[in-house]
């Protein structure tokens, strides 16, 4: 008994789903460029596939096309509109045209203004069939952060905090959550270009603020500290290791000796003017962070800085880790009012169903 050939036919959705999986697997490894999945198909057979290279280039389309000797008459599937502008690499549209691709299917438009909604017109002028919108809902979720960053020209900011079961945090360097929750925190560090914190957190907890997951250590984010008067302790871990890892401090201090000391340690100092409340302007700081090419920002700080960011409407997502411990000593800081603000300011929340022992994790978005 023979099976019909149609049983094995690759549907457009299945191919695009494969491209989406490729992009998801490489999502946080492509720098400020989006992670794109690309699949080349001809006569119901996948000839090649690729993702955006680590660091952001070459692009997925160029890599996938380069894997084949002949691409004439093929169909190219891409999760994102192929670029049509000259950047550090040539436009992907040039490679598509040169390789005589017959059809191009992509899911959503690229919010980069240099390419937005231009590819279709360019390719169709060369008699290439173009179809967009395939698996749009799924792909839009994949590029949620990227689209926000491109549309707003601002960093996508994720906050996090951990507390005891009675909503207290310790004002010292004693872990509240268990090792499983701390591993998730390290994963968040890997996923972001930089960590923002305050000098109070540095001086109190002396955190390392690096990624210590096996195999991901080299992806530790840049550390950024808000320290108006340069009160950061010179013997803190981030200062002592500032020549090995990147450290940036925003300040408005005139303390020449402290400035000289920090510069000699390899710290990048950025002077900012204070606002009407005699505080550094958080919106200007985050804009400067974006201009430095740090587009995904994780905030690991205490109640005060997180509250101010929330008031300025600068947090895009938030992760709340809660242990089963009870803290009731003189070092405690209660965050019940802050958690109420979080619940009020975010429309959606979900419990993360990953193994955290007795800890819980709530994701606000």
The catalytic site residues sit at: 61
Q: How many CB atoms lie within 10 A of CB 214?
A: 5
For residues 106, 111, 115 and 117, what is the CA-based torsion angle, rounded to 10 degrees?
60
Q: Spell out where the chain has E strands.
A: 37-42, 45-51, 75-80, 103-108, 129-132, 156-163, 168-170, 194-198, 222-226, 247-251, 268-271, 296-300, 317-322, 332-334, 349-351, 360-364
Please, are residues 196 and 224 in contact by the beta-carbon 8 Å criterion?
A: yes
Burial class (CB in 10 A: 0-12, 13-18, 19+), 263: exposed
| Long-range CB contacts for residues 236-245, cutoff 8 Å, separation at least 24 | 236/202, 236/203, 236/206, 237/206, 237/207, 237/208, 238/202, 238/207, 238/208, 238/209, 239/265, 239/267, 240/265, 241/208, 242/266, 242/267, 245/210, 245/220
């Amino acid at each position: 008994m023979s099976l019909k050939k149609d049983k094995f036919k690759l549907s457009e959705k299945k191919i695009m789903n494969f491209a989406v999986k490729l992009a998801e697997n490489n999502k946080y490894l492509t720098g400020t460029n989006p992670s794109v999945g690309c699949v080349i198909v001809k006569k119901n057979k996948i000839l090649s596939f690729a993702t955006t290279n680590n660091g952001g280039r070459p692009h997925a389309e160029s890599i996938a096309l380069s894997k084949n000797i002949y691409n004439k008459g093929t169909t190219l599937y891409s999760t994102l509109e192929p670029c049509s502008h000259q950047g550090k690499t040539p436009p992907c549209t040039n490679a598509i045209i040169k390789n005589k691709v017959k059809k191009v299917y992509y899911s959503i438009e690229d919010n980069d203004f240099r390419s937005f909604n231009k590819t279709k017109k360019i390719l169709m002028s060369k008699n290439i069939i173009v179809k967009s919108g395939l698996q749009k809902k799924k792909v839009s979720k994949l590029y949620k952060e990227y689209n926000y960053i491109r549309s707003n020209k601002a960093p996508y900011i994720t906050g996090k905090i951990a507390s005891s079961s009675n909503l207290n945090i310790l004002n010292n360097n004693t872990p509240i959550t268990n090792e499983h929750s701390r591993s998730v925190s390290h994963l968040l560090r890997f996923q972001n270009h930089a960590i923002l914190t305050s000098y109070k957190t540095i001086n109190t907890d002396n955190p390392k603020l690096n990624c210590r997951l096996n195999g991901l250590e080299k992806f530790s984010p840049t550390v950024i500290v808000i320290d108006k008067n340069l009160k950061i302790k010179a013997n803190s871990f981030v200062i002592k290791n500032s020549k090995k890892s990147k450290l940036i401090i925003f300040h408005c201090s005139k303390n020449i000796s402290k400035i000289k000391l920090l510069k000699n340690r390899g710290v990048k100092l950025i002077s900012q003017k204070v606002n009407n409340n005699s505080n550094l302007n958080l919106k200007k700081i985050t804009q400067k962070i974006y201009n430095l090419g740090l587009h995904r920002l994780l905030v690991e700080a205490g109640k005060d800085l997180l509250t101010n960011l929330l008031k300025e409407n600068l947090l895009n997502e938030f992760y709340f880790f809660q242990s089963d411990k009870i803290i009731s000593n003189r070092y405690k800081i209660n965050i019940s009012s802050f958690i109420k603000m979080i619940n009020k300011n975010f429309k959606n929340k979900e419990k993360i169903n990953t193994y955290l022992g007795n800890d819980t994790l709530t994701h606000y978005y």
